A and B are shown apart, each in its own frame.
Chain A
Amino acid sequence: MEKAMIEVIKPGLATSVQDLGRSGYQQLGMVVAGAMDHFALQVGNILVGNRRNAAGLEVVLMGPKLKFLKDTVIAICGADLSPAVDGTPIQLWKSYSLYAGQTLSFGKPVTGTYAYIAVSGGIQTPEIMGSRSTYVKAKIGGLNGEYLVKGDRLPTGDPIMKSSGRVLPSRLVPDYDKQRNIRVILGPDAKAFTKQGIRTFLTGTYKKSSQTDRMGTRLIGPEITHANEADIISDATFPGAIQVPANGQPIILLADRQPTGGYTRIATVITEDISRAAQIQPGKELTFEAVTLEFAQELYICRERLLKWLSIAGREVHP
């Protein structure tokens, strides 16, 4: 059976197939991978009628040029990387109908780092260990475990929606340039730091280094002091865990983090803020703020309810 397809005219910097990740295998050492910004991918999927965890394309700073070989509905969410259809700019957080033969391209990065192309019916590359997410270092997911290359043809499912024009209410659209305060829960290794070290971490301003990738983002700023050692007996790493090696410079662990690591973890970014922490562009600054578990979980629960509500509302109020 012929499937709707996308042809890669230009691959972009590091465009990859991502869903919400390969969870459940971390104890075998398998990396979770998945979208760097879960919120943007999920909203994109909702706008085109997909399940929230359907696979889309993750675009990093310099976007690809793609030709759509069949009629479909798409939405671009996340970073503003100046998307355009046949050269005409399109809006973010909004679904559009595309006709066979039309091309989607990207221009100048404006805000944020990662944009997501959601396609109605989802990207249908083979599923490995319950996920289509690309993890290049282990050569799995996507097409042959690699970033897109020129000439790739991506299979997609049959479009679920025929109509377009759905939008995310503007009050829910994140602003990656303005919202640069990242909330954290201290620990699990907060005791490994001096009081001054914790204070430095919570009051200092940290710049995102250019050494930033899907695994994590290195920060440059005031040196965080350890009480004793910077090394721990290797232990689990969760999304948003902030490691501080002996050089006192924090590293936020993200989608492609290793399941275990050996540096002290001063704090963990709350789920609500992980997407924003990933989206802030290299060279920009951010700050940290400690919050309680109750507060963080309330935000998490509100966001989950919002996403559920958007999926349901989208089905009922069919434009």
Chain B
Amino acid sequence: MIEMVKAMFEISLYGDRGIRIQLGTTISKKTNERIRNFSALLEKESISGIIEWIPAYTALSIYYDPLLIPYDSLKNRMESLYEKLSLVALPPPIITEIPVYYGEEYGPDLGFVAEHNGLTTDEVIDIHTSSNYLIYMMGFSPGFPYLGGMSKKIATPRLISPRANVPAGAVGIAGAQTGIYSMESPGGWQIIGRTPLKLYHPLRHQPILLRSGDYIRFSSITKTEFEEIEIAVSRGTYQPNVIQHEGE
């Protein structure tokens, strides 16, 4: 099994200035750890010609300048880096509580998610609020966490055609993933609720609320609680509940 995982190392072309290194095929903590380690190695080696890289669930994509590093040398460097891939100690994670008002106008697709999975809307909310979700990566938009750990019981495909506008704070499901929109943007996720927290706030001391490697947990709140928290957030007085993750 370990050998099988280790064998997953595939470099493919991503345009004329990118390569994609695939390190796994499914969303798993193991693959995520390998990607984070690979990312740490890239940071350490600081290879000339590599402009930046984007770690994702199963792959890490590198954007480079072919004037500074030809494709063949880049490929060779990545192969030798892969040989060095070893575990890196990560800081102990925290769990941030994300309050969510589920359904109605804030969660227009809650009914569809329930119907698709043969559940009631209350059951969808119970399932969604009962796990700790690992933040696998940040991306899509500033402060957007890609979360792992959602129950397959509420998995639902993306919308066939994406919406032109999804508001900041919208909580959604896409396939087996769940996430929170950090700012208003187009998107194809099934929207089940909304949080009054701001994941991205450029004028705040810490503009991005969450960090990859940590966890979040959703809690269901009433409309009144939503409005109270929303006011506290806009005044800068709201402190999210944070607890230490106890480990596996």
**A residues in contact (CB < 8 Å) with B:** 23-31, 137-140, 145, 185, 187-188, 211, 215, 231, 233-236, 238-241, 245-247, 258-263, 268-271, 293, 296-297, 300-301, 304
Contact = CB atoms under 8 A, between A and B. Distances in A.
A260 B139 CA distance: 6
Interface stretch (B56-64, B108-116, B123-131): B56-64
A185 B15 contact: yes
A209 B98 CA distance: 38
30 contacts: A23-B52, A23-B63, A24-B51, A24-B52, A27-B137, A28-B208, A29-B182, A138-B141, A138-B200, A138-B202, A139-B202, A140-B202, A185-B13, A185-B16, A187-B12, A187-B14, A188-B14, A234-B57, A234-B146, A235-B20, A235-B56, A236-B18, A239-B15, A246-B160, A258-B140, A260-B139, A262-B175, A262-B188, A268-B16, A271-B16
Contact of A236 (B27, B59, B66, B174): B59
Chain A, interface SS category: mixed
B53 A27 contact: yes
Interface in B138-153: 138-144, 146
Contacts, number: 156
Contacts of A25: 52
B140 A260 contact: yes
A139 B142 CA distance: 11
Contacts of A28: 138, 142-143, 208
Contacts of A138: 141-142, 183, 200, 202
Contacts of B66: 297, 300-301
Given A23-B51, A145-B202, A238-B18, A247 B161 contact: yes
A259 B17 contact: no
A36 B107 CA distance: 35
B55 A188 contact: no
Contacts of A145: 202
B15 A29 contact: no
Contact of A260 (B12, B54, B67): B54
Q: Name the interface size band of chain B.
A: 35 or more
Given A235-B58, A271-B15, A27 B158 contact: no
B184 interface: yes
Contacts of B63: 23, 238
B186 interface: yes
Given A233-B27, A238-B14, A238-B15, A258 B141 contact: yes
A29 B14 contact: no
Given A29-B141, A261-B140, A233 B57 contact: yes
Contacts of B59: 235-236
Nearest to A145: B202
A231 B141 contact: no
B49 interface: no
Nearest to A263: B188
A28 B209 CA distance: 11
Residue of B15, B162, B177, B200 contacting most chain A CB atoms (<10 Å): B15
A296 B13 CA distance: 12
Nearest to B51: A23
Nearest to B168: A137
Contacts of A236: 14, 18, 20, 54, 56, 59-61, 139
Given A31-B141, A139-B202, A241 B56 contact: no
Nearest to A216: B186
Contacts of B118: none
Contacts of B186: 215
B71 interface: yes
B120 interface: no
B185 interface: yes
B157 interface: yes
A231 B52 CA distance: 25
A293 B15 CA distance: 8
A296 B160 contact: no
A139 B201 CA distance: 9
Contacts of A238: 14-15, 17-18, 61, 63
A190 to B, nearest CB: 9
Contacts of B61: 188, 235-236, 238
A215 B20 CA distance: 22
A72 to B, nearest CB: 31
